[in-house]
Chain A
Amino acid sequence: MKLPVKMTINGQSVSHEVEPRFLLVHYIRETVGLTGTHVGCDTSQCGACTITLNGQAVKSCTLFTVQADGANIMTIEGLAKDGELHPIQQGFWEKHGLQCGFCTPGMIMLAVQMLERYPKPSEEVIRHQLEGNLCRCTGYHNIVKAIEWAADKMAAAK
């Protein structure tokens, strides 16, 4: 039996009827049409599907859409404002924090939460916080640099 759900995604209100087993990542990608959120492993390990749900980073492949009823969601598409990249996105650009880019939306959404919780993270904190986000290309080094760059930029803007 389908159930009605209503939530806010990147500031826009959306509502649909979904099967309870329909995973949030599929809802975001297929029903709402926001394909920036990726499916990497589909087994809760890689973090490519990371979004924020009520401000907290979560793996959208490990959540049913019905559990997000009433929630406020942000995906990678919601980050840039008026055509200007978010400082974390800029950091990945400046510090070459990506190669194929598949893990990048998840990395960036996790970094959004990270810099809210730890505005000046040490390298150790960054690496511990990224434990649930896997990258097959970069070796993480430039991802750490990108987040450090963004932390400095965001601190300077305050």
Chain B
Amino acid sequence: MYPASFEYHSPTTVKDALGLMGKLGDDAKLLAGGHSLIPMMKLRLAQPKHLIDLRNVPGLKGVKEDGGTIVIGAMTTWYELETNAIVKAKCPIVSETASIVGDPAVRNLGTIGGGLAHADPAADMPATAIACNFEMVCEGPKGRRTVKVDEWFQGLMSTALKEDEILVEVRVPALAKGTGAAYLKFPHPASRFAIVGVAAVISTDGKGTCSKASIGVTGAGTKAVRAKGVEAGLSGKNLAGAGAIEAAAQKGAEGVDVQADLQGSVEYKAHLCRVFAKRAVEAAAKRAG
């Protein structure tokens, strides 16, 4: 399969990339790992006239620490996140999520910036982004701004990123003490995309009572969402108590605009949301101690 013809640009600074975007407007698309965009171009679902490849822009790759925050460059690959020592120590759920994206070849090229900008409804990291309260740093012609995750995912493959902006970095709060986190998914058997995926971040008071719960759900609807019903059902509850998690997880599909597709009916996917909410919360609570 051949994509439609396009012109290829390979800027070496964010400023030059922004300049090209300003000049070329709607005709141009950014290229990161290409593992969402190129398949779409091959199917001619996307036919940009210009591609602006970010691979030669230094400074967009890698992980560093800024106080209690992990700062991840947008061009950092899933494999780098899977193996990065800082991420593994400070917010292991991010490594864990990255380690089950697609397959090893996809993880070698696909990037966190591309994944969060593309906002595929079945992508994994959006659930973890919501549960961990990521912040997205976008750079445009007028400078940088930071968008909180609750404002980021706006609809099917649409985000708060503006057309003239580049997502340059992702800021991830390190997990606090007494906090456990887990991401679990029911993967599509061929692509490994999430049919349903749930990320849970659970804080406890040390005696088994949940002081804070943050839950993200991906896969079932048109976009990843926060499972507010589950969060409310958990906070203040003793998680060791019989049925506490089970009861809260019953709200796992609330607020999700569950879509029927080849993978399953609305009822089936809503059921998976509840099952995976329970499993993810149990795993996170166990890690919280």
Contact = CB atoms under 8 A, between A and B. Distances in A.
A45 B7 contact: no
Nearest to B192: A131
Interface of B: 1-8, 10, 31, 34-35, 38-39, 41-43, 51, 53, 55, 79, 102-106, 108-109, 190-192
Interface in A26-60: 42-45, 47, 50, 56-59
B105 A110 contact: yes
Interface in A126-143: 129, 131-134
Contact of B104 (A21, A45, A62, A129): A129
Contacts of B102: 131-132
A1 B35 CA distance: 24
A124 B106 CA distance: 19
Contacts of A114: 104
B109 A113 contact: no
Given A44-B39, A131-B192, A19 B105 contact: no
Given A66-B8, A67-B55, 7 more contacts: A3-B8, A20-B5, A50-B105, A58-B108, A63-B38, A131-B103, A132-B104
Contacts of A3: 8
Contacts of A110: 104-105
Contact of B3 (A21, A129, A132): A21
Contacts of A20: 5-8, 51
A149 interface: no
A67 B106 contact: no
Contacts of B192: 131-132
A113 B79 CA distance: 12
Interface centre among A62, A66, A114 (most CB of B within 10 A): A62
A135 to B, nearest CB: 13
A3 B6 CA distance: 12
A57 B102 CA distance: 13
B8 A64 contact: yes
Contact of B35 (A44, A113, A129, A133): A44
B106 A132 contact: yes
Nearest to B31: A67
Nearest to A55: B108
Contacts of B8: 3, 20, 64, 66
A64 B7 CA distance: 12
A59 B105 contact: yes
Contacts of A67: 31, 34, 53, 55
